[in-house]
Amino acid sequence: MSYQYPDKADLITLSLVLMKNGNDELLRKAEDILLARAISMFRQNRYTTLLDLGCGNGRLTIELSKYFQWVTALEPDGERLAEARKKIADNGIENVSFVHSLFQDAGLPDDYFDVVICNQILQHVNTRAVEPIIREVHRVLKSRGVLVMTTSFAKGDEDCYWKVFAAEGKVQAVEITPQEFDGLASGDPGILPVHFFSSVSLEMHLQSFRPIEQSIHDNIYPHPLLDTILYIGEKRVKQSLGGATSFI
């Protein structure tokens, strides 16, 4: 397996912040505000196991490790995973294990995790992988397990796709077709593809979860390309009736 997240060292994302603020701490602070509702849930419930899906360089893993007995941090980009390992070790954290794999290939056990957090991941994966990833999240969660997800959202009724890149010293963004997006989603260095999900699209993809919270955050970051939706949902139970599968 070879995968490289295209926004090396988060330079493109940070540039979208720095172009208006000049303070890279804003990105972290905005993320903390965004996930405050989820962290409040973690404090109030006796969750034991967490999957940090696409842990990146481990910044969020460090924070989340406080609220769980055991955290599994999965990341397909080897360089980012190495950064996460170092941060966890440097902070003396002992309740985190690491998996270097694409999620679909990781072979994680059924019904194992209390919580799966998928923070700013789904908008960068191939469109054909969205459904398999959500099915896999459903499989590895315990009964009544919780999905916490943030992703880019579209204000209209349809999904849209953009590529973001640096050129001539500036961050530029161009709307693209779904086909071009899928071509870039394998990890083209220096070009960050972003899939903006409409509310209709998310509802369709997340039918196997019972919504607990869905909130749009369109002013929390300093650039519209960072507009985000927070979704928290509880795993629904599958039932089969007459050969058809539904969720209750």
- Taking the domain 8-247, which CATH number applies? 3.40.50.150
Which pLDDT value is given to residue 128?
A: 95
- Residue 226 region by backbone torsions, left for phi larger than 0, else alpha for psi between -120 and 50, else beta: alpha
In the predicted model, is pLDDT for residue 6 greater than 90? no
Candidate from 30-39, 86-95, 146-155 with smallest mean pLDDT: 30-39
Helix, strand, coil shares of the chain, percent, nearest 5, are 35, 35, 30
What are the residue ranges spanned by the domains of the chain? 8-247
Q: For the full predicted model, state whether its pTM sits above 0.85.
A: yes
Alpha helices per DSSP H over the chain: 11-21, 25-34, 36-44, 59-64, 78-90, 127-140, 178-184, 199-205
What is the tens place of the pLDDT at every residue in 43-86? 999 899 999 999 999 999 999 999 999 999 999 999 999 999 99
Element (H, E) at 6: none
Main-chain phi, psi angles of 237, to 5 degrees: -90, 135
Q: Is the dihedral of CA 169, 172, 177, 178 positive or negative?
A: positive
Contact (CB, 8 A) for 88 and 58: yes
